[in-house]
Amino acid sequence: MTQIAPIVLVTGINGFLGSHTVEALLSHGYRVRGTHQHSHDPQCLLRNRPSWNGKVEMIHIPDHRVPNAYDEVIQGVDYVIHVAAEVHSNGETPGIDPHHTLAVSIKGTENALNAALKEPKVKRFVYISSDAALKGPKNYNGDGYVFTEKDWNPLSLQDAEASNDEGLNYTVCKKLGEQTVHKFQTIHKPHFQVIALNPPLILGPVFHLESVKHLSFSAWFFWQLINGRYENAPKTEFYNYVDVRDLAKAEVLSLTADTKEPRVIICAGDLDNDKIVNAIITRFPQFQEKIAKPNGLPSTCDYQIDASLSKSALGLQYRPHEETFYDTAESLYRLSGFVE
């Protein structure tokens, strides 16, 4: 008798991570039901991934903040991967009001959790958080500090209210959004386990778009280094990264891993802008006039991130940074029309 594959609900399949999540699930034999925000998203996704046709059920949820938004789509689902979140593209900021950003994040997450509570088949709920929930916009713990899953960003909503700093507001919202998930589990003691994954900057190939006009922030950041904007690479401000495909693999592993860990850091290693441009100029010498020259500045990172739990608890292995950088650049050059 043929065993029917489990169904995984993926919220936000129209995004950078969501699209790779679907790819990873399909490659591991899962059935996928995905939600998307815009009615035209399925057409774009299927043009870029025709193999999804007939394999991925796509459901339009224009506003996941609406009460009971996920109640129907979660029926019969075995696992949930909650990726959907408010994002901004091409370096644009989503606004400096932390209350708005927080409300969007928390309402959607609470709706997904409450829906899962009503579906007895759900076994695990994987929530995508951020390393911003661990450390905030900077290291408040002293030079050389090693961040682990036990750490929490020390900033509060009051700190965000008193600041016009977009980065600070973002980190506070990520922290409070994730704490909503853990608080839900403590209060409701659901029949399913909740696991939060905490990645840093997410890089990797882009296939969910048809141009470079609406890149996610991480892809936009990378694109600026190789598209002719800079003569010299700017000072590094993002010190860690993960490949989107490795993060998607971590999501899949989290569904069935023999672990009770409530949160797991997903991080491939350190990052600096010179490391990126040196790798890209080697692989794409034809674009040397577009690729920023190394700045030669030493790293100012004063902390480390311990991602060993992702290997021991989930069995995750990370690909080399060169592969991540090469594939990211190739996909962006293709989207821009620079290569076929």
Give the pLDDT of residue 42: 77
Q: In 3D, which of 192, 181, 247 has the Cα closest to residue 6?
A: 192
Higher pLDDT, 211 or 125: 125
Give the pLDDT of residue 80: 98
Confidence of residue 161 (pLDDT cuts 50, 70, 90): confident
pTM over cut 0.85: yes
Give the pLDDT of residue 168: 84
320 Ramachandran zone, left/alpha/beta (phi>0; psi -120 to 50): beta
Residue 225 scores a pLDDT above 70: yes
Confidence of residue 38 (pLDDT cuts 50, 70, 90): confident
Give the model confidence (pLDDT) of 91-104 as tens digits. 554 455 666 667 77
Give the C-alpha separation, 84 to 18, whole Å: 8
Give the pLDDT of residue 123: 98
Residue 2 scores a pLDDT above 80: no
Give the pLDDT of residue 37: 85
Residue 115 scores a pLDDT above 90: yes
Q: 339 burial class (0-12, 13-18, 19+ CB within 10 angstroms)? A: middle
Give the model confidence (pLDDT) of 322-339 as tens digits. 999 999 999 999 999 887
Residue 33 scores a pLDDT above 70: yes
In this structure, what DSSP letter does residue 319 have? Answer: P
Decide: 331 and 270 in contact? Cβ < 8 Å.
no
Q: Stretch 275-289: mean pLDDT, rounded? A: 96
Range name among 2-6, 54-58, 199-203, 221-225 with the lowest pLDDT average = 2-6
Average pLDDT, the chain: 92
Give the model confidence (pLDDT) of 68-83 as tens digits. 999 999 999 999 999 9
Decide: 40 and 85 in contact? Cβ < 8 Å.
no
Q: In 3D, which of 309, 296, 25 has the Cα closest to residue 147?
A: 309
Residue 151 scores a pLDDT above 90: yes
Give the model confidence (pLDDT) of 8-31 as tens digits. 999 999 999 999 999 999 999 999
Give the pLDDT of residue 86: 65
Give the pLDDT of residue 58: 94
Residue 294 scores a pLDDT above 70: yes
In this structure, what DSSP letter does residue 106 have? Answer: H
Higher pLDDT, 219 or 64: 219
Q: Stretch 41-64: mean pLDDT, rounded? A: 87
Residue 321 scores a pLDDT above 80: yes
What percent of the chain stands above pLDDT 90? 76
Q: Report CA-CA distances (Å) from 143 to 138, 139, 140, 147, 204.
A: 11, 8, 9, 12, 30
Q: Give me the domains of the chain, ranges plus CATH numbers.
A: 7-204+241-267+304-311 (3.40.50.720)
Range name among 103-117, 126-140, 164-178 with the lowest pLDDT average = 164-178
Q: Stretch 220-238: mean pLDDT, rounded? A: 96
Give the pLDDT of residue 94: 46
Higher pLDDT, 237 or 2: 237
